[in-house]
Amino acid sequence: MELTIKIIQFFLCFTILVGIHELGHFFMARLFRIRVDKFYIFFDFDPWFSLFKFRRGHTEYGLGWLPLGGYVKIAGMIDESMDKEQLRQPVQPWEFRAKPAWQRFLVMIAGVVMNIVLAIAIYCGICYAWGDTYFSNADARWGYAFNETGLRLGFENGDRFVSVDGQSVDDPMEVLNALLITENDRTVVVERGGEQVALTLPLNELIAMRQERSYENLFALWQPFIIDSVVAPGAAALRRGDEIVAIRTPDGQNYGQLQFRDSRALLKLHAGDTLRFTLLRDGAPVELDLPVSDEGTLGVLTLNPYTPRTRHYTFWQSIPAGFRKAGRTIASYWQQLKLIAQPKTELYKEVGGFLSIGSIFPGSWNWQDFWAKTAFLSIILAVMNILPIPGLDGGHAIFTFWEMITGRKVSDKVLEVAQYIGLLLILALLLYANGNDIYRFFIK
């Protein structure tokens, strides 16, 4: 069932993104009275079949059988359909090639613009409907627990973030983003034992962390063992709010700086024993000898001391908030593309295809999460399409922009060759990305 929900979310998201993108080209073409021969969600690839189609006016609308994108076939334009026969005919006033360069340029970038507009609209809607929920670094009273990579970088359990490269930290996820998306060393200041300690994290180690994917669970909130209520007579001496900070076993071993899960594991090892617990009660240390049940439990319920914060927005406040979220996402993704393009980082190995995209959706339905991921993927689609690669919108736009600057139109022959090269590049990228997925999910 979880897989089914993932697949449904993926195809619904993809259909929305492709449909909005192609509607941008379609509406801009029609605005300039350019004839659109076909409007398709997904590809049909003649002489193959369409799942359904109908004709209205000069345009055939349909749903293709291959869910790898979509297209509008604009009359008089060299595109992925590679319809050379139409281009051999005399130029007609309703064709793309008959229009001035500035109109053709706007038609080319309209799909990208629509994806950006969609992302902004979704982010505005999310801010208005759900607000912006996050955990504040100021609430991390016990600091964070770090995985092996974090400890190797110089962090210590219990550290609390103060700043990254001089910028104060509010949302701790800002720290992870800064460590993953960087072209330089990072300086992270942490609070440790009441003092501030500066850590310099070398770029080569940050790149290695990303290559090894050891940034997953790099840090997490320290989970203290705080008593909420007592449910067994043996723990009657405990009170609500007591924080267990150390445990001494019968053999004299003293275990301190334990998270709740570590304490629970220790109790399991000493089922039936009586242990000495050091706890903080109203800020003062207290020692108690308490029995552990035969099941390895203390007989208490614990308290979660953390509560996420939510920024709420009015309708008018949600609009600039949505623009800011879209702007930050575009800047972050562009920075990631720059890093991937640098061979020394070897981050091109992270490039994924449809399985990677589908895997980001959860196995249960959550509208807020679905729309957030749709907005993010809409920005990815926009940024990828605006790249100056023949066959993509950016490739078409760059030739038209050249014509606008120089006044010289690029020949149809050059555009045709460029289109073939672009299609080969795109096909190679698709094969590489989806090959990475197959290796990552089924072989590695």
Q: What's the CA angle centered on 114, arms 113 and 116, to 5 degrees?
A: 65
Range with lowest mean pLDDT among 30-34, 279-283, 351-355, 426-430: 351-355
Place of tokens 């575009």: 330
Q: Report how far apart, in Å, the C-alpha atoms of 428 and of each of 339, 345, 370, 422, 433 are.
A: 20, 21, 29, 10, 9
Residue 113, pLDDT score: 96
Query: Which CATH superfamily groups domain 133-222+305-311?
Result: PDZ domain (2.30.42.10)
Average confidence score pLDDT of the chain: 86
Residue 348, pLDDT score: 66
Q: Is 187 within 8 Å of 169 (Cβ atoms)?
A: no
Provide, for the chain, the percentages of residues in helix, strand and coil under a 3-state DSSP scheme, each rounded to the nearest 5.
50, 20, 30
Q: What is the DSSP letter of 202?
A: -
- What is the tens place of the pLDDT at every residue in 157-200? 999 999 999 999 998 998 998 998 888 899 999 999 889 999 99
Rounded to two decimals, what is the model's pTM? 0.83
Residue 154, pLDDT score: 93
Q: For 247-275, what is the mean pLDDT?
A: 90
3-state secondary structure of 416: helix
- What is the tens place of the pLDDT at every residue in 296-314? 999 999 998 898 999 999 9
pLDDT at 437 over 70: no
Query: pLDDT category, 92, cuts 50, 70, 90?
Result: confident
3-state secondary structure of 305: coil
Query: pLDDT category, 219, cuts 50, 70, 90?
Result: very high
Query: pLDDT category, 51, cuts 50, 70, 90?
Result: confident
Handedness of CA 97, 99, 102, 105 (dihedral sign): negative
Q: Is 425 within 8 Å of 384 (Cβ atoms)?
A: no
pLDDT at 321 over 70: yes
pLDDT at 438 over 80: no
Q: How many CB atoms lie within 10 A of CB 435?
A: 13
Distance CA 348, CA 206 (A): 15
For residue 132, give the H/E element and its range: strand 132-134
Distance CA 209, CA 196 (A): 24
3-state secondary structure of 113: helix
What whole-number percentage of the chain has pLDDT above 70?
A: 91
Residue 161, pLDDT score: 95
CB within 8 Å of 188: residues ≥ 6 apart: 161, 163, 164, 175, 179, 198, 199, 201
Distance CA 362, CA 385 (A): 26
- What is the tens place of the pLDDT at every residue in 376-387? 999 999 998 888
Distance CA 62, CA 42 (A): 9
What is the four-CA torsion angle of 201, 202, 204, 206, rounded to 10 degrees? 20
Q: For 30-42, what is the mean pLDDT?
A: 89
Both tokens assigned to 321: 């908030």
Q: For 241-246, what is the mean pLDDT?
A: 92
Query: Which CATH superfamily groups domain 225-302?
Result: PDZ domain (2.30.42.10)
Q: Is 62 within 8 Å of 40 (Cβ atoms)?
A: yes
Residue 367, pLDDT score: 92
pLDDT at 108 over 60: yes
- Of 194, 105, 36, 115, give the one whose Cα is nearest residue 409: 105
Q: Which residue has the higher pLDDT, 81 or 339?
A: 339
Residue 79, pLDDT score: 63
Count of residues in the chain: 444
Query: pLDDT category, 444, cuts 50, 70, 90?
Result: low
Both tokens assigned to 63: 């749903």
Query: What is the domain partition of the chain in residue ranges?
Result: 2-131+353-443, 133-222+305-311, 225-302
Distance CA 11, CA 398 (A): 31
Q: How many CB atoms lie within 10 A of CB 383?
A: 19
Residue 346, pLDDT score: 66
pLDDT at 151 over 90: yes
Q: What's the CA angle centered on 418, arms 413 and 423, to 5 degrees?
A: 130
Same fold: 133-222+305-311 with 225-302 = yes
Residue 402, pLDDT score: 85
